[in-house]
A and B are shown apart, each in its own frame.
Chain A
Amino acid sequence: MPDTVVIDIRMRGAKSSNGVDDDSVSSSKKNSHKPKYSRFTQQDLPACKPILTPGLVIASFTTVAVVFLPLGLASLFASESVVEIVDRYDKDCIPGTHSNLPLEYIQNSKSNKICTRNLIVPKLMKSPVYVYYQLDNFYQNHRRYVRSRSDKQLQSKASENDVSNCKPEDLVDGKPIVPCGLVAWSLFNDTYNFKVENKALEVNKKDIAWRSDKERKFGSDVYPINFQAGSLIGGGSLNSSIPLSEQEDLMVWMRTAALSTFRKLYGRIETDLQANDVIEVQIQNNYNSYGYGGKKRLVLSTTTWIGGKNNSLGIAYIFIGGLNLLLAISFILIFVFKPRPLGDPSYLSWNKQATISSN
């Protein structure tokens, strides 16, 4: 039977013909920000998808081992080639009469603090030979200590009164101390004089501080004022006619150490020291390490590309290199004796007709 009535069977879809397209009105808001197609929006950026194949992993472990072992040997060698003389003198520099009362001895300004030590050079020490003092059990990183300073005050005269962080060494009789704070107050003040075969050995104390400190951090117009003028005297005092920018010992001291055992540069000896030379050191033993049970050491050391004597890096390198080698070998062995194909679908539990959660 022929269709005699013209009816659009899909009228719902054809509604737009009357100009008021209901569907599009309702969805026009969405269409207005209909997504633009880009590989980013479709999360379809080309991607590199590496997987941990045995080859890759074994190769990387081997590479690390191959690089680390020689590097470790090299730095260990470098460290071993450093010639170092370490002499602990705090105990021995107490005269026998005061051996039980070191504190009394060191705090007494009248007692003779000079102490002579003889050091034997074990091997040729090429110049420059660095002279350090080493303190043990000295917490320059203690919170109370490390923050007790005023960088602004050190930098410029204008900030002379900026002592708010410096408590308790901020003011003397209401006047600001320059340089203020516990760090400066506890300045190390032992001095060393070296002689080889009764010939004075020059120690260069120039440029022992960082250049940046001299130029920027410590002002050339800042002079010590009221320093160590309080009732309690801490460490060394400063020549108040020399600007801070030239007080290099202070700068070195004020670079606080992160560890409680640290060395600070005292100066440089710019002549070679021959093996078996005997160096006579005259120590002005001023600094009170007895009060807190610390140690003082004098260190003479040469240097290499990794710095001073420090075996830990080399050992760590060899250890890590060896460990990686071991891992690489064991992975190779496992791979050879117990191979396991990657991505084997039979490992998928649902292919084994088991419940997913059984694993």
Chain B
Amino acid sequence: MKRFVYINDDESPTQELYCDNRISNRKYTLLNFLPKNLWEQFSRFMNQYFLLIACLQLWSLITPVNPASTWGPLIFIFAVSATKEAWDDYNRYLSDKKANEKEVWVVRKGIKKHIQAQDIHVGNIVWLRENDEVPCDLVLIGTSDPQGLCYVETAALDGETDLKTRVIPSACMGIDSELLHKIKGVVECPNPDKDIRRFDANLRLFPPFIDNDVCPLTIKNTILQSCYLRNTEWVCGVAVYTGNETKLGMSRGVPEPKLTAMDAMIDKLTGAIFVFQIVVVIVLGIAGNVWKDTEARKKWYVLYPNEGPWYELLVIPLRFELLCSIMIPISIKVSLDLVKSLYAKFIDWDAEMIDYETGCPSHATNTAISEDLGQVEYILTDKTGTLTENKMVFRRCCISGIFYGNESGNALKDAQLLNAVASGSTDVIRFLTVMAICNTVIPVQSKTGAILYKAQSQDEDALVQAAAKLHMVLFNRSGNILETRYNASVFHYEVLETLEFTSDRKRMSVVVRDCQNGKIILLSKGADEAILPYAAAGQQTRTFSEAVEQYAQLGLRTLCLAWRELKEDEYHEWYLMFREASSTLVDREWRIAEVCQRLEHDLEVLGVTAIEDRLQDGVPETIETLRKAGINFWMLTGDKQNTAIQIALSCNFISPEPKGQLLLIDGKTEDEVSRSFERVLLTMRITTSEPKDVAFVVDGWALEILLKHYRKAFTELAILSRTAICCRVTPSQKAQLVELLKSCDYRTLAIGDGGNDVRMIQQAAIGVGISGREGLQAARAADYSIGKFRFLKRLILVHGRYSYNRTAFLSQYSFYKSLLICFIQIFFSFISGVSGTSLFNSVSLMAYNVFYTSIPVLVSVLDKDLSEEMVMQHPQILFYCQAGRLLNPSTFAGWFGRSLFHAIVVFIISINAYAYEKSEMEEVAMMALSGCIWLQAFVVTLETNSFTILQHLAIWGNLIAFYVINWIVSSIPSSGMYTIMFRLCRQPTYWITVFLIVAAGMGPILALKYFRYTYRPSKINTLQQAERLGGPILSLGNIEPQPRSLEKEVSPLSITQPKNRSLVYEPLLSDSPNTRRSLGSGTPFDFFQSQSRSSSSSYSRNCKDN
């Protein structure tokens, strides 16, 4: 499966074969919009149901009301979502059009022409100028730079904001820019894919352009669509992928819609109501048919024919089906969509979640899952860049066995090191050289003379800057030549090869030729386990591994630096292999890794660097608060165990002894791993009851074994443990862990910032991306993007919690009001001969569902049961959301009962007050409807916790609107209810009845609520009372236990004194459950007690799942 691109060949068949550069992100065209959109909408069950009902209503024999009462809302709802889709699509069309019609310079028939971007074909040569956007994927063939370099910004593609260098293929090197028009050749490349890091292709130029050789191409030789050309006057390239087949186009996917736990619950309840409705329909249908045959046939005035059509038996049940169809509120979907997008807007708008450093507000990409935020049970977090700032600072180093920076905590200020640098000790100089040039950093001279570094990796940036501080300044990189300045002297190095960093190799190397003496040197840096085993035989690496150990204890990131002088022959021999490997099309990465391995051995280890990655502001507080809220934290990091544990300690992830305990799962072999795992599991089972923070630590290798062979037991462990640290894990393992927790029905939130977190973020129920220094890749894939980790607290406790509460009310209320009117219809059918007469007229029914009752409840999006501060002070209250206490079958049953009670009240009172001479159908109907409207206004009032002006407006304004609308309808002579509302409003009986309905309907509910509120208060109620009565808040704040102070003292202690490490390290890793037990509680009695408590806690945990 290859693609052959013939360069600049206007006659070549490839032009027909591949699509042109027209970009299209549109879902619809003008023609297919209606059918396609309708098809999509009708693929949902709810919509199918409503359509069926609406169609049944067209049969006038069975329809209780005018079909418009269903068609109207249905069409309205469909129109709303269709309009939204159309608008989105139109915007996509506009932006496509703008991109498509952009003018670019393209060579056509040997002449440079200005054409629209959409007319670019595969094989065309495209000319770009500085700051141009790249219109399609190009293979570079020429640049203005004599070295063949150019710089691109790939932010739109991967979110990385640093400039990247791209280089023209060696075969095109040195071709005169005038001749580029005439260049001919063929590019052999794979079919379009979405991997933006790989492009394994070959280029062959045709005569007269010399080289008949195949020249390998990599991603370095391409510039991809949507990148920007920077710092380069011009480039030209061959279009290889165009239109929607570009790497960007291919990676554009439609994310699968996520369904919140709440949506699932609402669906379940809808299903229950549907079943209830069917039962009602069957019962009433049978009753209706029986009544018809026994009673109605005697009523001469009804004039039933003796012989009915074959479907006669079905008529009455179908009528009831239509009558009861309003049980499932058609408005709920629209209301929910509306409020959900408002929740998302509130997140976007939140001024307290703006990252003022970058001016970047929080953003909800997925507007549909805010409620899930309030129900999070597990947070899986990345470490680097998420908990930490990913702002690397060089802190310590160990050069040939001497530790620098241990006293001051900053090697740059260590006089000893400065002296060593000044005296020019060879080891130190070599060390600094590796720091300065073993990287891909690009130095840029600014106008003021200061040197700015453009680095792709934060670590490299820190190292280069530290080297510069130590007087080894990398100040120029032009082509292959690097220039460094040490004190006053300038050194030149020619970079021969760069052996790139991959997460498998865990190291990177450069091969340079020292231009001073012509020697070829290999410079390497990498993780300890990727460098130390390859040290030259005879070199003592113990000090280095000790240094690594010690630095890791302090939570520092370590890198080992090494070098080796290469012989000329060795290099050349290797070079050929490397060339061959890098031009393979299959498994190139693996082949290259293998070849690199052949060079990276017998290294002379120079030293170890330690880089500090500071914790972000507010991370410990955030984690503590969220843990109090009952959320379990798992840290998944690619870092090494000790670093991870240290970071975990310093950010409250785990507590130090004696409060906390770490259980380590490790082992070299499968057996060892499984044994240690069993021990941990046993300990964990015993200790769950103790008020202790028990966490387990597992590394990638052990995790792989566990997930493979002990999945079930590991799941148990995962459920038992509130905290876990998984280190050395790969992106796919992160995703697997999310999957594991999801399979236990836990709601997971994954938060990360880098490309390696993307899979985990997409896998989790909620993905949160930190728009940080590792680019926007994670933020793009995520449902929510925030600027800092600490905003997570607000996102969950404020936005998630409020969203959950509001939706819980809104959805149940929607069912309540639909059931209310439906019950009245059902009751009415009992006194109308079970014949399926609708008490209410079509206009009222339609307006009731869509208008009268939907508007006031919509303002519940402003409702706040507790103030934000209160929630932050008492994060435990999140439990109500997590456990789904506000929307579950039993709360729903409460609302169901309430609607039944209210229906009885309204119905009984209306027909008794309007009996005998007043019993006119329209009047009774309006009386009952008014009763419902008044009741629902009071229900909303009673259930609202805080009234803003908007709520008052909506609730009471709606009531007024009800009368205004009905007066208007009553003044239309052709309407059925002509003059009815005016007549009613003039009757004292009407008003008396309304007040009676309100008092009878609300009195018991208020009494019950008050009783529960005062004598059986939920935690929410208690806090509400505390907050609103003012007084006890202060005392509450004081009562709160503050374990932080203790930890604060402990953790810095362990950091500053490496000797103290036993405190945090060894005792944490207990060996056997026996020692634990004796540690935990003294007497057997205690032990049993704790056992029973553990069972109760696990019971309660099960409880909250339902």
A245 at the interface (CB under 8 A from B): no
Q: A22-B155, A261-B919, A334-B1015 are in contact. List 18 more A-B contacts (CB 8 A).
A: A8-B451, A9-B465, A15-B452, A30-B361, A42-B351, A47-B862, A53-B1029, A142-B299, A186-B300, A255-B921, A258-B924, A313-B993, A323-B1003, A331-B1007, A342-B1026, A343-B1027, A357-B879, A359-B1019
B334 at the interface (CB under 8 A from A): no
Chain B residues with Cβ under 8 A from A143's Cβ?
Answer: 64, 319, 832-833, 835-837
Q: Once the chains bind, are A141 and B921 in contact (CB under 8 Å)?
A: yes
Q: Once the chains bind, are A43 and B864 in contact (CB under 8 Å)?
A: yes
Q: Mark B612-646, 1 if CB is under 8 A from A, else 0.
A: 00000000000000001010000000000000000
Q: B916 touches which one: A134, A138, A357, A359 (CB < 8 A)?
A: A134
In whole angstroms, what is the CA distance A98 to B1074 when docked? 102
Q: Once the chains bind, are A312 and B351 in contact (CB under 8 Å)?
A: no
Chain A residues with Cβ under 8 A from B832's Cβ?
Answer: 139, 141-143, 146, 260
Chain B residue with Cβ nearest A169: B303
A18 at the interface (CB under 8 A from B): yes
Q: A17 touches which one: B300, B446, B468 (CB < 8 A)?
A: B446
| Closest chain A CB from B30 CB (angstroms) | 28
| Closest chain A CB from B56 CB (angstroms) | 15
Q: Once the chains bind, are B1006 and A60 in contact (CB under 8 Å)?
A: yes
Which residues from 869 to 907 on chain B have a C-beta closer than 8 Å to any C-beta of chain A?
874, 876, 879, 883
In whole angstroms, what is the CA distance A142 to B319 when docked? 13
Which residues from 126 to 174 on chain A have a C-beta closer than 8 Å to any C-beta of chain B?
130, 132, 134, 138-146, 151, 155, 168-169
Q: State which of B751-759, B945-953, B1057-1065 sits at the interface with chain A.
A: B945-953
Q: Mark B1007-1030, 1 if CB is under 8 A from A, else 0.
A: 101100111010100111111110
Q: B468 touches which one: A5, A75, A130, A145 (CB < 8 A)?
A: A5
Q: Once the chains bind, are B161 and A22 in contact (CB under 8 Å)?
A: yes
- What are 15 of the A-B contact pairs (CB < 8 Å)? A5-B469, A7-B465, A14-B452, A41-B351, A49-B945, A51-B1024, A51-B1025, A54-B1010, A71-B992, A142-B299, A256-B920, A261-B915, A264-B917, A307-B918, A324-B1003
Residues of B bordering A, CB below 8 Å: 64, 153, 155, 159, 161-163, 230-231, 296, 298-305, 319, 345-346, 348-352, 354, 358-361, 363, 391, 415, 418, 422, 444, 446, 449-453, 461, 465, 468-469, 471, 473, 628, 630, 691, 771, 773, 776, 802, 828, 831-833, 835-837, 839, 862, 864, 874, 876, 879, 883, 909, 911-921, 923-925, 945-951, 973-974, 976, 978-979, 983, 987-989, 992-993, 996, 999-1000, 1003, 1006-1007, 1009-1010, 1013-1015, 1017, 1019, 1022-1029, 1031-1032, 1035-1036, 1039-1040, 1096-1097, 1100-1101, 1103-1104
Q: Mark A298-335, 1 if CB is under 8 A from B, else 0.
A: 00000001111010110011001001100100010010
In the complex, the 5 A-B pairs of residues with the closest C-beta atoms, listed nearest first? A343-B1025, A343-B1026, A357-B1100, A22-B161, A41-B349
Chain A residues with Cβ under 8 A from B837's Cβ?
Answer: 141-143, 146
In whole angstroms, what is the CA distance A348 to B1023 when docked? 8
In whole angstroms, what is the CA distance A20 to B919 when docked? 79
In whole angstroms, what is the CA distance A183 to B923 when docked? 18
In whole angstroms, what is the CA distance A172 to B1032 when docked? 83
Q: Once the chains bind, are B161 and A26 in contact (CB under 8 Å)?
A: yes
Q: Once the chains bind, are A27 and B301 in contact (CB under 8 Å)?
A: no
Q: Once the chains bind, are B1023 and A324 in contact (CB under 8 Å)?
A: no
Q: State which of A31-39, A112-120, A236-244 sits at the interface with chain B.
A: A31-39
Interface of B is mostly: helix
A77 at the interface (CB under 8 A from B): no
A4 at the interface (CB under 8 A from B): yes
In whole angstroms, what is the CA distance A153 to B839 when docked? 23
Chain A residues with Cβ under 8 A from B946's Cβ?
Answer: 47-49
Q: A46 touches which one: B444, B919, B948 (CB < 8 A)?
A: B948
| Closest chain B CB from A357 CB (angstroms) | 3
In whole angstroms, what is the CA distance A61 to B626 when docked? 42
A345/B361 contact (C-beta < 8 A), A52-B1014, A132-B917, A141-B831 known: no
A258/B302 contact (C-beta < 8 A), A45-B862, A49-B947, A345-B1032 known: no
Chain A residues with Cβ under 8 A from B349's Cβ?
Answer: 35-36, 41-42
Chain B residue with Cβ nearest A134: B916
Chain B residue with Cβ nearest A308: B917
A292/B1003 contact (C-beta < 8 A), A25-B153, A342-B1014 known: no
Q: Once the chains bind, are A316 and B909 in contact (CB under 8 Å)?
A: yes
Chain A residue with Cβ nearest B838: A143
A270 at the interface (CB under 8 A from B): no
Q: Once the chains bind, are A348 and B949 in contact (CB under 8 Å)?
A: no
Q: Once the chains bind, are B947 and A47 in contact (CB under 8 Å)?
A: yes
Q: A259 touches which one: B909, B919, B1019 (CB < 8 A)?
A: B919
A216 at the interface (CB under 8 A from B): yes
Q: Once the chains bind, are B1003 and A61 in contact (CB under 8 Å)?
A: yes
In whole angstroms, what is the CA distance A8 to B828 when docked? 82
| Closest chain A CB from B1012 CB (angstroms) | 10
| Closest chain B CB from A58 CB (angstroms) | 9
Chain A residue with Cβ nearest B920: A255
Residues of A bordering B, CB below 8 Å: 1, 3-9, 11-12, 14-15, 17-18, 20, 22-27, 30-31, 33-37, 41-43, 45-54, 57, 60-61, 64, 68, 71, 75, 130, 132, 134, 138-146, 151, 155, 168-169, 182, 185-186, 210, 212, 216-217, 232, 234-235, 255-265, 288, 291-293, 305-308, 310, 312-313, 316-317, 320, 323-324, 327, 331, 334, 338, 340, 342-345, 347-351, 353, 355-359
Chain A residues with Cβ under 8 A from B979's Cβ?
Answer: 210, 212
Chain A residues with Cβ under 8 A from B1100's Cβ?
Answer: 355, 357-358
Chain A residues with Cβ under 8 A from B1040's Cβ?
Answer: 351
Q: B298 touches which one: A71, A185, A217, A293 (CB < 8 A)?
A: A293
A292/B298 contact (C-beta < 8 A), A356-B630, A357-B1097, A357-B1100 known: yes
A6/B921 contact (C-beta < 8 A), A146-B837, A355-B1100 known: no
Q: Once the chains bind, are A345 and B917 in contact (CB under 8 Å)?
A: no
> Which among B64, B351, B1013 has the highest number of chain A CB atoms within 10 Å?
B351
Q: A142 touches which one: B296, B992, B1025, B1027 (CB < 8 A)?
A: B296
Chain A residue with Cβ nearest B470: A5
Q: B911 touches which one: A9, A212, A259, A264 (CB < 8 A)?
A: A259
> Which among B298, B837, B925, B951 has the highest number of chain A CB atoms within 10 Å?
B837
Q: Once the chains bind, are B301 and A234 in contact (CB under 8 Å)?
A: yes
A8/B350 contact (C-beta < 8 A), A143-B835, A146-B837, A349-B1019 known: no
In whole angstroms, what is the CA distance A84 to B122 when docked? 98
Q: A316 touches which one: B301, B303, B996 (CB < 8 A)?
A: B996
| Closest chain A CB from B163 CB (angstroms) | 8
Chain A residues with Cβ under 8 A from B1104's Cβ?
Answer: 357
Chain B residues with Cβ under 8 A from A60's Cβ?
Answer: 1006
| Closest chain B CB from A280 CB (angstroms) | 24
Chain B residues with Cβ under 8 A from A31's Cβ?
Answer: 359-360
Chain B residues with Cβ under 8 A from A139's Cβ?
Answer: 296, 299, 302, 832-833, 835
Q: Once the chains bind, are A49 and B950 in contact (CB under 8 Å)?
A: no
| Closest chain B CB from A347 CB (angstroms) | 5
Q: Once the chains bind, are B161 and A258 in contact (CB under 8 Å)?
A: no
Chain A residues with Cβ under 8 A from B468's Cβ?
Answer: 5, 7
Q: Once the chains bind, are A310 and B1028 in contact (CB under 8 Å)?
A: no
> Which among B230, B691, B978 has the highest number of chain A CB atoms within 10 Å?
B978
Chain B residue with Cβ nearest A33: B348
In whole angstroms, what is the CA distance A50 to B951 when docked? 13
Q: Once the chains bind, are B988 and A306 in contact (CB under 8 Å)?
A: yes
In whole angstroms, what is the CA distance A133 to B381 when docked? 80
Q: Once the chains bind, are B914 and A145 in contact (CB under 8 Å)?
A: no
Q: Once the chains bind, are B949 and A34 in contact (CB under 8 Å)?
A: no
Q: A344 touches which one: B911, B948, B992, B1032 (CB < 8 A)?
A: B1032
Q: Once the chains bind, are A357 and B883 in contact (CB under 8 Å)?
A: yes
Chain B residues with Cβ under 8 A from A359's Cβ?
Answer: 1019
Q: Once the chains bind, are A310 and B358 in contact (CB under 8 Å)?
A: no
Q: Once the chains bind, are B1027 and A64 in contact (CB under 8 Å)?
A: no
Chain A residues with Cβ under 8 A from B987's Cβ?
Answer: 307
